[in-house]
Amino acid sequence: MRIVLIIISIIGLMLTIVPAFMVFFGSVTLETNKHLMLAGMLCWFVTAPFWMNKEQEEVV
Amino acid sequence: MQPSTKKSLVGKLEAVNEFEREPIPQNKLKGWKSFLGMYAGEHTAGTEFVIGPLFVTHGVTAFDLMVGLLAGNLLAVLSWAFLCAPIAVKTRLTLYFKLEKICGSRLATIYNLVNALMFCFLAGSMIAVSATAVGIPFDMAMPALNDVLPTSVGWVITVLVVGAITTLVAMFGYDQISRFANIASPWMILVFIAAAIAVLPELGVHSISDFWAVANDRIWTGEPLPGQIRFTIWHIMFFAWFANMAMHIGMADMSILRYAKKWQYGFCSAAGMYVGHYIAWVASGILYALFLFESNNSMTFAPGPVAYRAAGIAGAICVVIAGWTTANPTIYRAGLAVQSVMSHWKTWRVTLIVGAITTIAACFPGLVMQLLDFVALYGLILMPLGAVIFVDTWILPKLGMVSDYAEKRGISFNWAAAISWVVTLGICFLINRWFGLDVYFLGLPGWFIAVLLYLVFSKVYQKKTWEQESRVSANL
């Protein structure tokens, strides 16, 4: 379960940054980029709290 | 709210123990990742959406910005690593408790109140930045560069709501803030980068080779907006170095770095400097340049709509969260400052009061518009007592003088520290007036002046009080 959450989180970050480069190279529009960034944000904030802080506690 | 729920909430708040008046125990020390997340989160903040654009308004050139930030941020990291962190790890005390030992409770009280007030204003500016994003769906009238007073009822209501939520989070202490910052920071910095890259084609950058020419012609043009002074590479370098002067040279981050296992964790500040104070300042400058380009140099200054224009809802939410992740620890620090004055009060109660003052301050947009000057002034005002702590920890024992003088002599007001503080600021003021040296540069001569003055005054003061005590003992 944890690995699934981490993968979704990484997808969230990829959706945040990768489409911006695609806008730069003319592959997608700025509007599409905004929608993908929103999807990325949801993926990140829904999943990251369940593994990130636990990892921090283990480190500490 | 049910009584049991209320009781458990209060119980949880009462259980928050931040070791305000004792060294951090070994089992509470934190690993380097905790500091990396904290610094990256704290310095990728709401203010970054203001500072980057303000550099554009001050007409800095692209070369001056890039090189000035590189050098200034390096100096800031070194200041954290070699000045603040070693003392934090050696003493494991908050700045405020350490000051009480050196300066006495009365002088520490004055310092703490000044400090808390500064933190309130700083956190207030970040709440205001968040409010510009929260107000977007309500079509709220945004403030302009020359606004000082609240501009509308909608603005005030939005600020009050954002301030209340920020305060609530801060009331739960460092752990909650750290967790929130850790989660948000990787996403936030990617939003900064993504938003800037996505709008580059609209500024005329269609390949990497176009960037430098467009950067000079349309972003950092070297031409300040009307009413703004022109910034040089020196302004940028010193601003980057001293933007957090209160935290590193001023030692406020002793309160955070006292949790570090090793002093070398001070280098974790590089995450905040090069991600937040380099990439984010550059990125937000690009976004603002697009706004100026499209609005024909409009005087409206609102980071929320600027981010929304480039990154949609994610951009606006990033502005809100970026404001929170800095406002939260700043309110927490202010709470610690006041708590050391009112030690019988629980931290959460003090944080509540501090949060209320902060929220009221946030209603005034002038705080945001004059942020560069305020940040520089705030560091300068608090810096001299950071120099006092430095001298007290490393130099006085080597010269045969007494460290933690107030505690050891049982005095409540260390005149040597007080005079050093006031005279340093007085001399800095005169340098500013007579030689026209901008506030951004005063921290450098100011630190050496403070060190020298505290050494001289301590020599005189410790000898004098020692002789007085000896006479009293002899008479007894």
Residue A60: is its pLDDT beyond 50? no
Q: Is the pLDDT of residue B376 over 60?
A: yes
| pLDDT at residue B3 tops 60 | no
At residue B226, the pLDDT reads 82
Q: For chain A, say whether B51 makes contact (Cβ under 8 Å).
A: no
Looking at residue B278, its pLDDT comes to 93
CB pair distance less than 8 Å for B200 and A16: no
Q: Which residues of chain A are within 8 Å of residue B203 when distances are taken between CB atoms?
A: none
pLDDT value, residue B19: 64
Residue B444, pLDDT above cutoff 80:
yes
**More confident call, B468 vs B168:** B168
Q: Contact, B127 vs B358, CB < 8 A?
A: yes
Tens digit of pLDDT for each residue in B411-423?
Answer: 889 999 999 999 9
**Inter-residue long-range contacts of B8-14, CB under 8 Å, 24+ positions, other chains counted:** B12/B172, B13/B171, B13/B172, B13/B346, B13/B348, B14/B346, B14/B348
Residue among B152, B153, B161 nearest B131 (CA) = B161
Residue B361: per-residue pLDDT: 87
> Between chains, do A60 and B198 touch, taking CB under 8 Å as contact?
no
Distance separating alpha carbons of residues B75 and B86, to the nearest angstrom: 16
Q: Quick one: which of B82, B86, B87, B78 has its CA closest to B270? A: B78
Q: Which residues of B touch A30 (CB under 8 A)?
A: 198-199, 202, 310
Q: Which of B:12-41 have CB within 8 Å of A? A: 30-31, 33-34, 37
Cβ within 8 Å, pair B198-A26: no
Q: Which two tokens stand for residue B249?
A: 């040279």
Q: Do A19 and B200 touch (CB under 8 A)?
A: no
Quick check: A37 and B314 CB within 8 A?
Answer: yes
Least confident of A37-41, B346-350, B365-369, B394-398: B346-350
Q: Is the pLDDT of residue B264 over 70?
A: yes
The per-residue DSSP string of B194-216 comes to: HHHHHHHHHHT--SGGGHHHHII
Q: B44 in contact with A at a CB cutoff of 8 Å?
A: no
Answer whether residue B2 shows pLDDT above 60.
Answer: no
Residue B4 reports pLDDT greater than 90: no
Question: How much of chain B is in helix, strand and coil states, percent to nearest 5?
Answer: 75, 0, 25
Return the pLDDT at A16.
94
pLDDT band at B41 (very low <50, low <70, confident <90, very high): confident
User: What is the per-residue pLDDT for B229?
Assistant: 87
Of B8-22, B118-132, B371-385, the poorest mean pLDDT is in B8-22
* Helix (H), strand (E) at residue B55: helix B48-57
pLDDT of B228 over the 90 cut: no
**Mutating which of A11, A15, A16, A18 best tests the B interface, going by the most B Cβ atoms within 10 A?**
A16
Per CB-CB distance under 8 Å, the chain A contacts of B197 are 20-21, 23-24
For the ranges B3-17, B197-211, B242-256, the lowest mean pLDDT is seen at B3-17
Query: How far apart are the CA of B136 and the nearest CA of chain A, in angstroms?
Result: 16
Q: Count chain A–chain B contacts defined by CB atoms under 8 A.
A: 86
Over the stretch B117-161, which tens digit does the pLDDT of each residue have?
888 888 888 888 888 888 787 777 788 777 888 888 888 988 898
Across the interface, do B312 and A37 touch by the CB < 8 Å criterion? Answer: yes
Would you state the pLDDT for residue B67? 96
Mean pLDDT of all residues in B370-395:
92
Predicted confidence at residue B302, as pLDDT, reads 78
**Mutation target vs A (from B26, B177, B197, B202; most A CBs, 10 A cutoff):** B197
The count of other CB atoms within 10 Å of the CB of residue B5 is 9
> Minimal CA–CA distance to B332: which of B116, B129, B154, B121?
B116
